[in-house]
Structure 1
Amino acid sequence: MFRRKHFLFGLLMILILSALVLSGCGSKKGGTKDSGDNNDPVPIEFNTESFEGTTWESSGTVSFPLITVNISEIIADASTPASAFYTGSVDCASFPGPIDITEEDITLIGGKLICLLGVEAGGTKGISFSVYATNDDGDAIGINGFIHENNLNTVEVHILTIDYADEEKTDFYYDEEESSETIVLTKQVPV
């Protein structure tokens, strides 16, 4: 139950960030663009198309299983220059197989999604990386991370949840602030 609350909290965060982007929070009253020099996050544009067809993989350790995220295509109707939803899949080595994420699957509550959001806060620019999916067995995975503008090939994972429907399996919860371990997803070079 504790892990499901963290998973839902992460999902709530992506809802809030998406609402900020869609409401145009990057503008002040006078119509000038906020430069992001305070700590409030400001949506920024990024090359959303450059993430199409990419694969991101963790190294997997004794502590957590190998995870692979495949980003396929942008869903144009649900995207802006500062944010994009994508089709694709997520695979966790401890699941029976990959979880496909189609355009029809993407809903912010109870659905599946791959979402990237360009953001600047406190002078730091980058891309928020969020993946949520549940397979037919009820196993769920949630990833919240960040891609820094000076290292577009690495996702620093902030929160990772793996929640098994089978109560006999041990759920996994990772929070970078509570762990001495670091989890990253690395962009794979096509062969």
Structure 2
Amino acid sequence: MNLDPIISALRARCPTFQGRVAGAAQWAGLTEDENPPLPAVYVVPLREDAGPNESEVSYFQTVTNTFGVILLVPNFADERGQDAARWIELLKHEVFRALLSWTMEPRDEHSEIVFDGGSLIYMDDARAAYQLDFAFETYLDISDSWQEVELNGLPPFEGADINVDCVDPSMHKNRPDGQLEGRIKVDL
């Protein structure tokens, strides 16, 4: 799941963060002792859920990609978290306006981004972290499969030789008798 376009979109469309938008590595490396400038946002991959192969003769599978946008906000005013809650509501709507219904490029390989829920994941007397979950679909097709590799390894189709053995129901109980009644040669 490539989240770089989402990070870029949040940097460009969410002025309150003043460019403080980072990825999963920065979030994972953040310690409780660090005090980065706030508010800040971190974009992290959460999961990929795959549906069944939808094709009978080829390969087509829908994958739901879920990612989190973690809002890291100040919580200095009170330990009950009311200041953090005001920040979260303000920033949540800014993030919504930046991402909801947006389709990443290439548009034929992604569905629009939808909201998938949210939850408080951390709070102390200095800051709070609230995670907004979003999802979009991508698609796997034959070009992503072994079948494509195998088909590309075949020699060019130049024609076919077809042998015809007719069924005589009175003699062989609806089975061919093993004698060829015809041959067809097709050259392309």
Question: Is TM > 0.5 for Structure 1 vs Structure 2?
Answer: no
Greater Rg by CA? 2
Question: Whose helix fraction is larger, Structure 1's or Structure 2's?
Answer: 2
